Structure 1
């Protein structure tokens, strides 16, 4: 029986390797083409290839992409910081104060925000914003994105809190520290890598979330996803390749930071990797 299973595993291994290679190709080949074309002289993405940096220069001079890009960065930064603050508070309540029923209901609500398609969430948020008088505005985008990314921060920080050694907190309390001081001096430094990781994930999700921004953006206001959507409906622009290459590079930097924080978090007392 055991030998039969080993033979089956060996027979499947080439198929699995092929599927993995195909998946990686589908994921990374388009990115590689975009990066390659961002250095191509031709404005239409045609060959033969001739190297140039003029599209990067055009991106920072006469391109209309910088305004929407900075708006998206500022909005995503505000959403990420807010998610870090409120998400950490919610995680602490969920881990240490919530009753079993309240915790279960709260987790279910957070999971629904993650599992429900953004198309449905965006439409529902638009109806809610109109009903409460906010309408389509930058504040509506802020609230919609915050509701979308908050569960990520809560679950990441709550998982880290659950892995902490409670005796550390009890020891601080027994030495006369108040609950707030005990949290700030004992728990907060230990969960800081998770807070930073959740904040970075919240920023990336907010920055790239087209559907929520599409439903809630007011007329005349364009974030970067909305601007790109408008441009690709008109025609091909080589500036987009340069911008996409920069975004891919920044995303890789974020991933490296998250990986580094995960390794550091794995070495903390009572902790597990993110």
Structure 2
């Protein structure tokens, strides 16, 4: 894109001072607590008091004597399985919704998916617990998996369906006219075009699963603690800054993952990374 044209777009999209102030205040409210947690993870004092004395004690404690690693790995494994399942089933549902669904069937599916997003998780968690008990599954890891999958599936469906809606149908017709099978057409034409949407939906599903305390609280069996449940217990009885160290590592890993997905999405879109800045 020519530089003068890019500058023109940026000038046209300039925001007013009032909007800039609101945006800046929102960013401060959002990021200042994260910065404080990161700083406290390097402070010698277990109570976050001054003077600030740098140390790596809490990171050593996290990997040696802390009880946080087990719940963290369980949450990571569970969220990964849920995210992959949501990506597969959500993409299939989005394709059906975009190409095969009747008007009535598509409306019913959209309403059901919107309900899973808009209904408070407190109500969903209680309803899921009643359903799991009624069908004999009860509180178990499989129940958590089903509950998290039900709450994350709509994100993948709507994101991928929106991307599919923008694709030119002539691309599929051209591939079919050249002898490509429906499966080959989908894998060689559609998948590369919707891959950024699938990755975005997968990442959102992973984060929602990882952070969803209410669904895990209602469906977790006795003695099983995911990271949100562990943190809830520690907050009630008191915790050491090794939790701040874990939070810092999670924030850093999240930022790296987002950057990698961002670059991958730009590459699939045929754009250099600099054009998005």
Scaled by the length of structure 1, what TM-score is found?
A: 0.89
> 8 Å contact 1:44–1:236 — kept in the other structure?
no
Instruction: State the match for 1:61 in structure 2.
Output: 64
Instruction: State the match for 2:27 in structure 1.
Output: 24
CA distance in 1, matches of 2:156, 2:244: 31
Structure 2 residue matching 1:49: 3-state secondary structure? coil
User: Structure 1 residue 253: deviation in Å?
Assistant: 2.1
Matching residue within 211, 214, 221 for 2:214:
211
User: Structure 1 residue 249: deviation in Å?
Assistant: 1.2
Instruction: State the match for 1:253 in structure 2.
Output: 256
Matching residue within 123, 132, 143 for 1:120:
123
Q: Deviations over 1:227-265 (max 9, x none)?
A: 010011111311110011111112222332343344345
CA change 1:16–1:188 in 2 (3 A) is closer
CA change 1:116–1:260 in 2 (3 A) is farther
> 8 Å contact 1:197–1:261 — kept in the other structure?
no
Matching residue within 165, 169, 173 for 1:166:
169
Is 1:133 aligned to residue 136 of structure 2?
yes
62-71 vs 16-25, greater mean Cα deviation: 16-25
Instruction: State the match for 2:79 in structure 1.
Output: 76
Instruction: State the match for 2:229 in structure 1.
Output: 226
CA distance in 1, matches of 2:198, 2:179: 27
User: Structure 1 residue 114: deviation in Å?
Assistant: 1.0
> 8 Å contact 2:192–2:268 — kept in the other structure?
no
Instruction: State the match for 2:193 in structure 1.
Output: 190
Matching residue within 104, 111, 114 for 2:114:
111
Aligned residues: 258
Q: Deviations over 1:185-214 (max 9, x none)?
A: 221122122212211111111111111101
Structure 2 residue matching 1:60: 3-state secondary structure? helix
Instruction: State the match for 2:145 in structure 1.
Output: 142
Scaled by the length of structure 2, what TM-score is found?
A: 0.88
RMSD: 1.8
User: Structure 1 residue 124: deviation in Å?
Assistant: 1.0
CA change 1:126–1:222 in 2 (3 A) is same
> 8 Å contact 1:194–1:265 — kept in the other structure?
no
17-26 vs 209-218, greater mean Cα deviation: 17-26
Instruction: State the match for 2:38 in structure 1.
Output: 35
Instruction: State the match for 1:4 in structure 2.
Output: none
Note the residue ranges of structure 2 that are not aligned, 5 or more in a row.
Answer: 1-14
Instruction: State the match for 1:178 in structure 2.
Output: 181
CA distance in 1, matches of 2:121, 2:238: 26
CA distance in 2, matches of 1:38, 1:228: 16
Q: Deviations over 1:23-64 (max 9, x none)?
A: 222211111110000000111111100001111111111110
Is 1:95 aligned to residue 98 of structure 2?
yes
96-105 vs 172-181, greater mean Cα deviation: 172-181
User: Structure 1 residue 177: deviation in Å?
Assistant: 2.2
Note the residue ranges of structure 1 that are not aligned, 5 or more in a row.
Answer: 1-11
